[in-house]
Structure 1
Amino acid sequence: MIKLHSIESLGTFDGPGVRLVFFLQGCNFKCLYCANPDTIDCTSEGKLYDVESLMSMARNERPFFGKKGGVTVSGGEPLIQAKELIALFKALKAEGFNTCIDTNGSVLNDFVKELLKYTDLVLLDIKEIDDDTHRRITGRSNQRTLEFARYLNEQNIPVWARYVLVPGFTDNPEHLHRLGKFLNDMDNVQKIEIQPYHKLGMHKYEALGWKYQLPEVEMNSQEQLKAAKEIFEQYVKEVIVN
């Protein structure tokens, strides 16, 4: 059984084409700017689904997928449930569905390696290339994420990198250049998506009784986004701002 937080039909943000997106419950990071804090708690009550019920949803939406669309698992952090996801991804690939994982890349074990055999694309959320800054914003080191990125490159699994540009936290030009150079060494990285910082999830913190950690941080200016895009374009063949 797979524990889900929510489901999005006809999504166009999490992977190529039109997607059916399963948001799994539970995350091992606690990012200061998390827009979905209600997905963090691994012990929280999520709804349990078996593989066949999820496959049925995928089959129902297949007419909308076209040539590029398919199924994405996101979170939370979906690879916490990698063992449970293997059967789902095997079934999806057996029926010709495109499969995608949106992950922070912090989990790499035998279950994850098996799951990746049935994965067409990984959306890799690299929070920061600098370890100290990464610890500051997530509470954890980035070494597992970087190791995960190297493994994906070794296995030649296609990657779209994702990067949230938080003013004063993840917009250091030196760090952006370092990340660009890191990605430039990987033939499997197809693009990087810059995700502007926003505060759309603040009300969720209030509902949870949590304090939002970045109330004073303003959303990105167009100049900030343009500067980051120009840096990444020196290293990655395709850079987009979502």
Structure 2
Amino acid sequence: MVTTARTVTGSLHSFDISTGVDGPGTRFVAFLAGCPLRCLYCHSPDTQFRRYGGLTTVADLLTEIRRYERFVKVAGGGVTISGGEPLQQAGFTREVLRGCKEMRLHTALDTSGFLGDRADDDLLDAVDLVLLDIKSGDPRTYAEVTRTGRLEPTVRFAHRLAERGKPIWVRFVLVPGLTDDPANVDAVAAVAAGVPTVERVEVLPFHRLGEQKYAALGLPFPLAGTPAPSVALLERVQGQFRDHGLTVY
């Protein structure tokens, strides 16, 4: 049974070691290839399609993680499964997370929650923390941002996580002229404040660091003329989340 699980294959785009970005401590971050959303501000268009990844087995990825096992443990970190959207490959993600728990590694799942219904109980049992990207709180803005998605599955997934006692760090990308409307921000804050296991909200300022990736793929960058948010705008939005009683970073 274990042998069969370890031969499950997935499309892996890449992996990296990060500190303080993808969960607590220093972490091994596996970026899976493939995502159902087409977010206007996506900085990694090369992770949107599975064909941009390489086929690998659960066993092979766990072997790579094991090389860093001691290092991330000493650094107070763990493993984060990101993307793309890891729940597009839910079976592969589940088995990798279960393998990480066997190594006694802290695990995090970085997801939009749009495919949350694909996460079975065994997968969630192997997750210590969910980094939940709430694109927008207004359904129309959510659809505009993602071009293919709906808000409701993310909200449903958040409440399911809370029912299972799973800690959540909410992430919200602040884009001037797109996600910064006060009503939209308040709607995101209301969703987060209504989920009792949300520990913090990270307001992530929009940037254009992925623009060269679009050029390399022969794609136009949808937000090429959009500036980064000003300090005043960032502080206003952070304040809106704090007004809802949330811890903000």
TM-score bucket of the superposed structures, by smaller chain: over 0.9
| Distance in 2, Cα, partners of 1:68 & 1:237 | 25
Is 1:107 equivalent to 2:115 in the alignment? yes
| Distance in 2, Cα, partners of 1:200 & 1:45 | 19
| Distance in 2, Cα, partners of 1:5 & 1:110 | 21
Is 1:228 equivalent to 2:237 in the alignment? yes
| Distance in 2, Cα, partners of 1:214 & 1:237 | 29
Name the counterpart of 2:61. 54
The list of structure 1 runs, each at least 4 consecutive aligned residues, that deviate by more than 6 angstroms after superposition, is: none
Query: What TM-score, normalized to structure 1?
Result: 0.94
Instruction: Count the aligned residue pairs.
Output: 239
Q: Which amino acid aligns with 2:248?
A: V
CA-based RMSD: 1.5
After TM superposition, the structure 1 stretch with the greater mean CA deviation from structure 2, 64-73 or 22-31, is: 64-73
| Distance in 2, Cα, partners of 1:111 & 1:102 | 13
After TM superposition, the structure 1 stretch with the greater mean CA deviation from structure 2, 46-55 or 31-40, is: 46-55
Choose which of 122, 129, 135 in structure 1 pairs with 2:137.
129
Q: Which amino acid aligns with 2:234?
A: L
Instruction: Give, in angstroms, the shift of residue 127 of structure 1.
Output: 0.2
| Distance in 2, Cα, partners of 1:38 & 1:110 | 23
Q: 3-state DSSP class of the match of 2:23?
A: coil
Q: 3-state DSSP class of the match of 1:72?
A: strand
Percent of aligned pairs sharing the same letter: 37
Query: Retained in 1: the 8 A contact 2:10–2:92?
Result: yes
Instruction: Give, in angstroms, the shift of residue 111 of structure 1.
Output: 4.3
Query: Retained in 1: the 8 A contact 2:114–2:150?
Result: no
| Distance in 2, Cα, partners of 1:82 & 1:52 | 16
Runs of 5+ unmatched residues, structure 2: 1-8
Cα distance per residue 1:30-56 (max 9 Å; x no partner):
0011100011113x1411222222222
Name the counterpart of 2:42. 34
Q: Which amino acid aligns with 1:214?
A: L
Choose which of 168, 171, 187 in structure 2 pairs with 1:162.
171
Name the counterpart of 2:126. 118
Q: Which amino acid aligns with 2:172?
A: Y
Query: What TM-score, normalized to structure 2?
Result: 0.91
After TM superposition, the structure 1 stretch with the greater mean CA deviation from structure 2, 164-173 or 2-11, is: 2-11
Runs of 5+ unmatched residues, structure 1: none
Query: Retained in 2: the 8 A contact 1:11–1:20?
Result: no
Instruction: Give, in angstroms, the shift of residue 11 of structure 1.
Output: 4.0
Q: 3-state DSSP class of the match of 1:216?
A: coil
Name the counterpart of 2:208. 199
Query: Retained in 2: the 8 A contact 1:17–1:70?
Result: yes
